[in-house]
Structure formats: structure tokens, C-alpha cells
Amino acid sequence: MSKKFVNKLEETVDDALFGLVASNKDIQFCKTSKRVIHRSQINTENVSLIAGGGSGHEPYAAGYVGKGLLTAAVAGNIFASPPSRNVQTSLEATKGKAGAILFVINYTGDRLNFGLAAERFNASGGNARVVTISDDVAIDNPNNRVGRRGLAGAVLTIKIAGAMSEEGRSLDEIYDMSQNVVNSLGTLGVSLYPGSQPGKDRETDLSNDQIEIGLGIHGEPGKLRASYESAHKIVSDVMATLKAKMEMKESDEFVVLVNNLGSVSQLEMGIVNGEVLRWFEMEKMKVTRFYSGTYMTSLDGHGISVTVLRADESMMKYLDAPAKAPGWVPSLSHRNQAEQSHSDKNAPIEVKSTGTSIHPDLVRECLNGVVKAMMDSEDQLNTLDAQSGDGDCGSTFASAARAIQKAEALDYEHLETLLKQLSVIFEQTVGGTSGALYALMFSAAAPELHEKIESNTILEALKKANHAVQKYGGARVGDRTMVDALDAMVEDLGKGLADNAGLDVFERAIQASENAAKETAHQKASVGRASYTSSESQTKPDAGATAISIWFRAFWTAFKEEMGKTNK
């Protein structure tokens, strides 16, 4: 069963509406129905605008009750149309001289119940019209008499109509404009997985490597299923379909609305926004207004929809008019892609070449060995990190490895310079705690390799790296961090070199580092992110300690292999 912040399941909608009204003084419950909310101050001289439908699509529709938008909203149960008597109640509660418009997203239950309410209201002396919003371009069956489903294009329709009502426009003018807007709209959605209702499991047979294209906002299947790929590919496919269905051409101008279907993170939304705007730039079409946010959801569905509106000047005027409602998010002040500047992460890392020379092929192969190990251990380290962290340790180092592979003009001949370059790479491309720690280590170690490179200077470089991490990171041996593996390497190497044990000291020191990493499984973290977790979650070796022991092993293995080639 999905976990939600709810009380009694049967009271979920009522509790949500109570919270909405309690936190917004400009709206209130209708005195005769707890499922109808309307403005606290109603201007009966203006056309009343009412929308609604099943709950679960918040902020639609109740979140748009306010100045410049809706006069009232009617809420049904989750994914269920409200009964016609509640719709009629909303008409009676907002009745004025100018008449009313009911906005219906094109689903059978909504059409029936809103249509019946309008007929009864008109029969009793009222004057109500119905605008059916049907913007889903995924529905293209010519034999489908029901027409397209209603999606997030409803929000733009309501915004334009709301501004017109606020301006005192007539029922006919608002109705005609609304019909024109609907005919100029197109929306297509895509989901990685559907929403889940309170008290129920997430019902889907969608596999992890698939996405649903053209889904409805009640979780119903879409037009087709496709392979899960990059955000760029997903957005490009969505926009290509919209282009074909809407007959979008070069130099055309559009209002664009990117809608979060419920649980897409702001990080992902930023990526999607960029991809949508980049597509318009590539297609040489102009985005006149750009909206992005949570406008019409499918509970906690993990997906987005993109709406395009071919808007004329009068529509633009009303879109730009002031509006105030709990769920309304105004347009963003976007810019053309050409105006943006991008930092080039692959630009040469400008570090002055210093330090004694060394055989560049040897250094290159050793670094390549570490980079390969970073890539190969991604899943292993992520799994370890997920036990008591955020599960991204492996991905972080894999990202660092890719950055190293893409870096230009790395100085393999001067190890001091190379370490400084690696410090910059970790600082600029990895970021976070790991980026800072490794940048610190490389920066502290580099000066020790300025004059000569031998076993003792390598030891001194490792000592400086160890000291810097402990000084600024705060970790000590026994704290279940990378320090345990690093310090073990330093200590064992120091003892071996003092005993003049030859190159075998490096093998033994790396073994000591590996053993120290394994021992962290029996330690309790007192610093770092793991220190905030329970001891029950700290039963596997620390990912950071394991990582650095893997890098030591990879470097040493590559070194021996390359030296073996040289000695043949």
C-alpha cells in the first residue's frame, strides 16, 4: 500500500479542501456543500467561471479559485466526477446577471454531470454555458466520437477567461474566446510511472525500462509505450508529436506550459524546461510565454506534459493580466538559448607546469587504470553507500572518471602538475563532499613531488593528503570514513620503508588499506552523512573507505603491468 500523509481514507478530499480554505482567506466553502469552494467576495456583475472534476489533480481546479481566474470550483472524489447537484450548487452560489461558464475537461463523467447541472440551472432561469476542453493530441482515432481528453491546456483556457471576466466582458465574448483557445491548444504527456491512490498500491505493469507516452491524468494507459531514454530523447519525441499534430512551422509563435504531473523533482523539471526551450530554438520557433510548474497533476505521477497554445494578441493580453489564486504560477521570464553562456567543462585546465619529469606513458597507464576502476566499481560503491548514505558514491566517482577522460592537456610528464589538475577536476566537476576531499588531497600531496619522485616522496605526499583530510574534514581513524583506509596505507607504507623492504611494501600497504576498509563494517560513524543514520544501517563496509582502497589497488596493478612491459 502506498504511504501518504492522510488521515481517514474516506476523508482525504475533505481534509485537503479544508487545508486549502484554512490557509487562504480569499476563498471559502459554499454554505450548502463542503465540496464547493468559491471566492470570499463575488462580483455578481461579472460572468461566473466554474471548473471542477475528480480530485487528485491539484491544484486543478480548487487551487485556481481567485481573482483573475475561477469564481468557484467543485471537487469530486479522487478521479471521480462530482455529482451534478454539487455542480448546480456552485452555479446557484455564484449566480449573477452576467451568466456563468462551466469548464469541463473532456471525460465522460464530467461531461455528463456538468452538462446535467447546466441544463437544470438554465431550466430554472439561469444562463450557463459549457466549454469542453479537449487538448490531448495523443487521441487521434477518427472513429472516436468522444474526442480528445482534457489536460493541462485547461489552465491556460481558464486564465484567459478569468482575465476577461475580471474586465467585465460578456458571456458571449468569453465563451467564444474560450472555444477559440481550446481549438488552438495541444498537449501531450509522458510518464515514467503513474500516480498511486491513498490506501492502494501503485497499479502499473510498466517496466523500469519503459515510459508511457500520451497517458491520461487518471493513470489510464497512453498512446504507446517506448524505451526509457535520456530526458533529451523523451522531450524531443514529445515535441515532435506535438509539432506534427499542431502543424507547427518555423517562425511560428507559441505559449508553452510544462506541467509537473505530481512527483517530478525540481532538478528534473529544470532539465525538462531546458530541453523544451532548446527544441524550440533548434526548430526556429518563438516561445512568447513560458510556464512551468505543477498545474494539473495525477496524484504523485512521475511525469510531465507539454502544452502549446498558438496565441493571438488578445489571448496574450489576458494571459498577462494580473491573477491571484493559491495554485496559480505565472509565466517565467525565459531567454533565448543564444543569449546563454555555458561553461565548457572540457576546456583545458590551466595549471602551470611544475615539478620533476617522469615517464609520461607510465603515469598515463596508471591513471587509466584508476579511471577504469572508478567506472567498473560504480554499482558496488552505490550499493554500499545506499546502506547508510544517499547511494551515489559510485556514481560520483564514475562522473569524476568521465571528467578525467574528457579533460584536455593533462600533464602526464609532471606528476606534481597532474595532481594539481586532478584537484581542479574534482573541485569543479564532482563537487560536494567527495569532490572537496579529493581536491584537497591532490592539492596537499602535489608539492611533495616537486623535486623528485621516489618511494619516500610518495609517502610524504600521502601523509600530507591524509593530514589535510583529517584537518579539514574532521574525521579520524575509527570514524568509519575514507580516513581509515587512507591512514592504514600511510602507516603501513611508512613502516615498510623504514625497514627497507623494497617495492613489496606497496603491496602490503595496499592490503592494509583494503583490510581497514573491510573493518569499517564493524565501526560506528561519528562524522559524515552516515553519522545521522542508525547503527542497524551501518553493517557493510564504508563506501568511501572501500573506494580509496580500490583506487590504490588499481594504481598499483597498472604500475606493475606497465613496469613489466618496460622490463621485457
DSSP 24-63: -TTEEEETTEEEEEEESS--TTSPEEEEEEEESSTTTTGG
Give CA separation, 261 vs 148, 205, 217, 294, 336, in Å.
18, 19, 8, 7, 26
Q: Is 414 annotated as a binding residue?
A: no
Same domain? 99 vs 177: yes
Of the residues 336, 371, 388, the one at which a domain ends:
336
Same domain? 176 vs 27: yes
Same domain? 305 vs 379: no
Catalytic residue positions? Answer: 218
Q: Decide if 392 contacts 385 (C-beta within 8 A).
A: yes
**How many structural domains are present in the chain?**
2
Q: What is the pLDDT of residue 532?
A: 41
How far apart, in whole angstroms, are the C-alpha atoms of residue 342 and residue 483? Answer: 36
Same domain? 307 vs 383: no
Q: Is 54 annotated as a binding residue?
A: yes
Same domain? 49 vs 162: yes
Q: What is the pLDDT of residue 337?
A: 57
Looking up residue 59, the CATH number of its domain turns out to be 3.40.50.10440
Q: What is the pLDDT of residue 145?
A: 59
Residue 346 lies in a domain: no
Residue 348 lies in a domain: no
Q: Cis ω on the peptide bond leading into residue 61 (within 30° of 0)? A: yes
Location of C-alpha cell 575509527: 478
Could you tell me which of 156, 302, 309, 158 has the C-alpha nearest to residue 231?
302
Q: What is the pLDDT of residue 566?
A: 65
Residue 349 lies in a domain: no
Q: Is 57 annotated as a binding residue?
A: yes
Q: Is 484 annotated as a binding residue?
A: no
Residue 350 lies in a domain: no
Same domain? 262 vs 114: yes
Looking up residue 536, the CATH number of its domain turns out to be 1.25.40.340
Residue 404 lies in a domain: yes
The H or E element containing residue 566 is: helix 543-567
Residue 291 lies in a domain: yes
Task: Give me the domain span that covers residue 440.
Answer: 360-565
Same domain? 464 vs 536: yes
Residue 375 lies in a domain: yes
Same domain? 120 vs 256: yes
The H or E element containing residue 259 is: strand 253-260
Q: Is 110 annotated as a binding residue?
A: yes
Mean pLDDT, consecutive 10-residue stretches, the chain (568 aa), reads 89 97 97 97 97 97 98 96 96 96 94 96 97 90 69 97 98 98 96 87 79 84 86 96 95 96 97 97 96 97 96 97 97 70 55 90 95 96 84 91 92 95 89 87 95 94 96 91 95 91 86 96 66 56 94 95 74
Same domain? 366 vs 320: no
Q: What is the pLDDT of residue 499?
A: 85
Q: Cis ω on the peptide bond leading into residue 348 (within 30° of 0)? A: no
